[in-house]
Amino acid sequence: MWALATVALVSVGTVRSAGWLFVLCLLAAAATATLAVSGGRTPLGMLMAALLPPVAAFRALPWAARGLADRRAGTGGGGGVARSLASVAVSLGLLVLFGLLFSSADAVFADLVADVLPDVSPPGVVAWAFRFLVIGAGLLGGAYLLARPPDLGGLRAAPARSVRRMEWVLPLALLDALFAAFVLVQVTVLFGGSDHVLGAAGPTYAQYARSGFWQLLAVSALTLLVIGGAVRWAPRDRTADRTLIRVLLGGLTLLSLVIVASALYRMNVYADAYGATRLRLVVAAVELWLGLLFVLVGVAVLRLRAGWLPRLVLGTAVLALLGLAVVNPDHLIAERNVDRHRETGRVDAGYLAGLSADAVPALDRLPEPLRSCALREIAGELPDDGIRTWNLGRARARALLAAEPPRGNVVTCPYPRW
């Protein structure tokens, strides 16, 4: 499953043109690829698995050297290695010879070969050499981990000393009471929407959403730490202790879900007022993932078993990132802003012009001159993709812009009107 997740994450670069999204997917793919080759099920084991690849890349060098030496000794003086190298050299020679002949015979085939071949200029050679070293080190380290898999299954934290009932019940009970008071007393603040924000004494939309998100996000993260600590140190030998754990931690989880919903609502109010952006969309995705995480924590609390939780936490994070790629974030942002412009007449064409080619189908619906203002910069930066760099989002954008190019006589673009 981790290997499939790695392939799916890397494949996002072929479907979506948004560079920021591909960077996030590539970072996540590095983590899932590490888990695919080294394993790790416990939190400590997964953490050690993330630290293994750099070490494995260096440990693999003497391992590979010994393997080549053993192969030379077993095949009579290196005949096997020499024959393999000779086969590679003959194959490259045949490809070059016949490729040059076919390229000189047909111009279309020559363009195809030119797209496939790497750049042979000095900067291109340096770039390809760097890629070869990085990817080669990663593949060699992965082969080493597969050939000599580390034993990470037994990596577990030492059992913690249980505390007395009053030592953990009192803090959790007080925290439950505080959360309940916050949710009950601040209902109008949490879900007051425009009436609260636009009131004479109310905050602005920016203050309402930004402070709410960051503060409530910190509350959510700290709550997860509190729940983890309580599960670790609270005794579970007696029925009364197990009941108290389920009641207190279950209540804390439910109240945390309400707070996550409040943070999500605040960000939705902000997006309705000022339009959708990448940051606001990512914030909403993080809040939804936190909500799912609290649901999983609630299930673990009820069952009093959480051995499956660390892997599922990382798995749901990967699924959330893939879900973000499926919804096509730049297109979704552009579509929401275009719909908002039709309803209110407000739009920030300058921000929309900074989106990727994925947004072109939605931006194509804008009226002139806003359409040209939003698409002119995207069209100017749209590259001519070859076989190695083909991308679905850019291909669709290129077709739409070729059918109706942005107008070049638009000198100034209107400023956003709030």
Residue 250 Cα distances to 2, 109, 201, 372, 385, angstroms: 31, 66, 36, 54, 53
Q: Residue 303: is its pLDDT beyond 80?
A: no
Residue 9 pLDDT class (50, 70, 90 cuts): very high
Predicted structure pTM score? 0.74
Q: Considering the chain, what percentage of its residues have pLDDT values greater than 90?
A: 12
Range ranked top by mean pLDDT from 60-64, 168-172, 206-210, 278-282:
278-282
Check residue 418 and give its pLDDT. 46
Among 179-188, 312-321, 396-405, the range scoring the smallest mean pLDDT is: 179-188
Q: Using one digit for the tens of pLDDT, what is the confidence trace for 33-48?
A: 888 888 777 777 777 7
Q: Which of 365 and 197 is assigned the larger pLDDT? A: 365
Decide: 8 and 325 in contact? Cβ < 8 Å.
Answer: no
Residue 34 Cα distances to 11, 124, 141, angstroms: 17, 29, 10
R_g over Cα of the chain: 28
Decide: 413 and 392 in contact? Cβ < 8 Å.
Answer: no
Residue 329 Cα distances to 68, 357, 403, angstroms: 48, 11, 24
Q: Using one digit for the tens of pLDDT, what is the confidence trace for 357-413?
A: 999 999 988 888 888 888 888 888 888 877 778 889 998 999 998 888 888 766 566
Distance of alpha carbon 408 from alpha carbon 90, whole angstroms:
53
Check residue 323 and give its pLDDT. 93
Distance of alpha carbon 386 from alpha carbon 402, whole angstroms:
17
What is residue 42's three-state secondary structure?
coil
Check residue 368 and give its pLDDT. 82
Distance of alpha carbon 263 from alpha carbon 220, whole angstroms:
10
Check residue 72 and give its pLDDT. 66
Decide: 402 and 334 in contact? Cβ < 8 Å.
Answer: no
369 preceded by cis ω (within 30°)? yes
